[in-house]
Amino acid sequence: MKSLVIYYSLTGNTRFISEIISRISGSDILELKLKKDDSRLKGFKKYFWGGMQVYMKKKPELMLFDKNPQDYDLIFIGTPVWAWRHTPAIETFFSNINLNNKKIALFCCHGGGKGKTLEKMKYRLGGNEIIGEIDFKEPLRYGKDTGSERVKAWVGEIVKKVNAQTLKVR
């Protein structure tokens, strides 16, 4: 079974978790990158800009992908939480790529709470099987080791679940 980690990250927290998931699960990785760079934003401006993007329902243009998500059976999708929702980059991805009949595991990174992020992502991914979800509070700030251990346990559960389902089908 081919697996892929898809993520967007502005501050590095979601990238950190994504790289651990990829390493543990042996998944390929696809970072969503904006055509218009947003890395110049710092401090409060970054949060204000992100929240406005969410509330204005922006769908920024993404760079071309080097991997086709349609080629994968299991997909991990990760996002930072902006204004208690997934980022506009993830929304653009959902709008442009039609995923169906995939096994999907969702994760998010936040500074204060996940809000309805995972619920909204599940809604956008109707027609797929959501096999797991987890959230992390700023792993780069509040404990790389704890975050790594939680990721390892969670990915183990996901892989075990997928393998059990695959055996039932055979």
What are 158's two structure tokens? 């996901």
Predicted pLDDT at 168: 63
Average pLDDT, the chain: 88
Distance CA 27, CA 67 (A): 12
Predicted pLDDT at 131: 97
pLDDT tens sequence across 133-147: 999 999 999 877 777
> 132 pLDDT exceeds 90?
yes
The pTM for the full model equals 0.89
3-169: which CATH architecture?
3-Layer(aba) Sandwich (3.40)
Confidence bin at 165 (pLDDT 50/70/90)? confident
What are 26's two structure tokens? 């042996």
pLDDT tens sequence across 115-129: 999 999 999 999 999
Query: How far is the CA of 151 from the CAs of 23, 71, 72, 87, 145, in angstroms?
Result: 11, 24, 21, 21, 10
